[in-house]
Structure 1
């Protein structure tokens, strides 16, 4: 997964951390001194980012010796060794924090994703990620989701049409002046005619998957009959989710449902 984008991310991370120079290492460690280092796990999990670690050290010294004892996707136990490094002590000391930051971040994502994926195993349900990623690290974090057994939603805004609550408000599909509440937050009536006209235009012109987010059963009933590819049920209660699934299965089985908000390991299944 190492490409130009990832190489640039690592380069920026090293520059951010080291600055002009690693003053402590320069003042305390003799030049050309060799050192050995072992990376081990502080707790059990799913490994992700081992090739990133290697790339971090390689960017500082292509001759450094690096041996991975695990590969991405492997599980590890507490105190288990995952990598061995040997080379210039200055390189190891000035690069270790960046390497470990990447490894711990990505392994944390893959570990948590694996917990969710294991919970819903055998149900036919998929765990999807979001665009709520660390700026400039989206490619890496979404990779970690895949390593953990999850699936990527859209990588960018250009990949699919996803009409969310703010689009509904901005496009005035929700009429704020109306006293009839479509949802607790919108406090306005859903303008179905306006939505229908816009949705028809999207179907003809977008040539992409179309997903619509809804925040109430009332809006769900009105939206699903236009058969978008996916309807996202945002912050629905368990009772509402069951009703939505029953209605979808009975009348619009071709429409996929996506659930968002309030999901945790205790209620995901």
Structure 2
């Protein structure tokens, strides 16, 4: 079943509102209207602006919003990034759900930007992974792009990644080549990548035809430099495994083409944003 952004909004609102917002119903006059803003309490990068706006419209179509920052733009503490006006009940009912989306997606974009900045001046891409919140993958990968990162495969369907467990199940070069040839025949255009745990394994994989990328998993910088020399520009090399902001520049300096970082999406703290009513 395809989980669209629209269905995700509906699910998020349903779990929060249930049969009705009792606080707004009893403590906010029915005809009252207000103006509010979403303000940054700390600096960051915008992502998720459109979905936040759609939350308010879904709660009450009379609520109007105006984005003052677009996805990918930076903001500083104190910046207003979204203006909201309309029925007060609708604004208050949509507040938390809109902030939940916006705070997490801005956090991912901000985290990604830190990693992108950390690898300068090396010409290496920062890739995301499949370590995303269930149901949020498209949104979180869009946030990575907003932060200047690059999306790796979206799922199991659009990119072959032969990992250690696949190789353990069926890993001779002869069998691997047969499988690669089948993909090339039956799924033309599909990228094929193999995971390497050792340089010996990499040397073996370099003899295969039809492979475009190798994932160098949990190799230190010395081995990565050797891998780059062995490869001699033949395949696209990705480094992965426990790479942090403190170590990523050293990894980038080895000459790999891409570095994948699960922490872009699985280890982020919600950015501090708040909704304030204004006169």
Indicate the TM-score class for this superposition, using the shorter chain for normalisation. 0.7 to 0.9
| Distance in 2 of aligned mates of 1:34 and 1:199 | 62
Identify the residue that residue 178 of structure 1 maps to in structure 2.
none
Q: 1:91–1:124: structure 2 CA closer, same or farther, 3 Å change rule? A: same
Superposed CA RMSD in Å reads: 1.7
1:232 aligns with 2:187: no
What is the aligned partner in structure 1 of residue 202 from structure 2? 220
How far residue 25 of structure 1 moved from its aligned partner, in angstroms, is: 1.7
Residue in structure 2 matching 1:211, options 187, 193, 216 = 193
Structure 1 unaligned segments of length 5 or more: list them: 174-190
Q: Which residue of 2 aligns with 1:39?
A: 38
Q: Distance in 2 between matches of 1:5 and 1:205?
A: 28
Deviation at 1:196, TM superposition (A): 3.8
Task: State the match for 1:179 in structure 2.
Answer: none
Bigger-Rg structure (1/2) = 1
1:198 aligns with 2:179: yes
Per-residue CA deviation, residues 125-158 of structure 1 (Å, 9 max, x unaligned), is 1111111111111111111111111111111212
Matched, 1:266 2:253: no
Whole-Å separation in 1 of the counterparts to 2:28 and 2:182:
67
| Structure 2 segments unaligned to the other structure (5+ residues) | 250-279
Cα distance in structure 1, aligned partners of 2:175 and 2:197: 18
Superposition deviation, residue 200 in structure 1: 4.0
* Separation (CA, whole Å) in 1 of partners of 2:180 and 2:54: 46
Size of the aligned set, in residue pairs, is: 245
3-state DSSP of counterpart to 2:4:
helix
Offset of residue 21 of structure 1: 1.0
TM-score, normalised to structure 2, is: 0.83
Q: 1:204 Cα deviation (Å)?
A: 4.0
Q: Which moved more, 1:62-71 or 1:199-208?
A: 199-208
Q: Secondary structure at the match of 1:145?
A: helix
Is residue 19 of structure 1 aligned with residue 2 of structure 2? Answer: no
Q: Which runs of 4+ in 1 moved over 4 A?
A: none
Structure with more relative contact order (C-alpha pairs < 8 Å, separation 6 or more): 2
- Paired residues for 1:1-269 under 5 Å: 5-171=4-170, 173=171, 191-207=172-188, 208-227=190-209, 228-249=211-232, 253-269=233-249
Q: Secondary structure of 2:83's partner?
A: strand
